[in-house]
């Protein structure tokens, strides 16, 4: 097998192309978030807290695709910057529910504009119909793979 045909095979591998796309998207998002002093997990955390105030560390970690330990570091950093608040002591159990602050909302609004521009650029070669189809197809792929995985106990 020649190297050219091996490369062609990779270019036809959906998993490989998805990883390439995810890597390019991550790099582009990192580039626009960096001047705002945000990492992608920090941005995801702020977005999740805007949509779901009082989320637990575990819920935020799942939503941002990071470990609980990583999310704890993310939250500490955001809290030190005044972008998130958490109680010093848990009202019940061990969970310290987090909330986005007004300063956090301001930086999130700016970040959302920048991230939206990245997504617009990524999709600029697709019609509106193709974008909707892609979204549906990727959701179907995610569902199929999720259904294959055994239930994970937390």
**Domain map of the chain by residue range?**
13-146
Averaged pLDDT for residues 131-140: 97
Query: Is the CATH code 3.40.50.300 the one for domain 13-146?
Result: no
Q: What is the pLDDT of residues 98-129, one digit of tens each?
A: 899 999 999 999 999 999 999 999 999 999 99
Strands (E), 17-133: 84-85, 99-100
Bridge partners of residue 98, in order along the sequence: 55
Q: What is the pLDDT of residues 31-60, one digit of tens each?
A: 999 999 999 999 999 999 999 998 988 999
Q: What is the pLDDT of residues 4-21, one digit of tens each?
A: 566 677 778 999 999 999
Q: Let me know the angle formed at the C-alpha of 45 by 91 and 110, rounded to the nearest 5 degrees.
A: 125
Q: What is the pLDDT of residues 62-94, one digit of tens each?
A: 999 999 999 999 999 999 999 999 877 666 666
Dist CA 131 CA 121 (whole Å): 12
């Amino acid at each position: 097998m020649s190297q050219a045909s091996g490369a062609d095979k990779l270019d036809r591998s959906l998993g490989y192309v998805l990883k390439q796309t995810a890597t390019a998207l991550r790099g582009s998002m990192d580039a626009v978030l960096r001047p705002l002093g945000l990492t992608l997990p920090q941005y995801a955390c702020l977005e999740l807290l805007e949509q779901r105030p009082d989320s637990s560390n575990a819920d935020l970690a799942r939503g941002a695709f990071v470990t609980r330990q990583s999310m704890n570091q993310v939250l500490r950093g955001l809290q030190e910057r005044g972008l998130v608040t958490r109680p010093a002591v848990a009202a019940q159990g061990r969970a310290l529910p987090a909330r986005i602050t007004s300063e956090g909302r301001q930086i999130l609004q700016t970040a959302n504009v920048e991230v939206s521009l990245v997504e617009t650029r990524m999709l600029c070669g697709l019609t509106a119909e193709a974008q909707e189809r892609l979204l549906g197809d990727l959701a179907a792929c995610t569902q199929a793979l999720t259904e294959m995985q055994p239930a994970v106990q937390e």
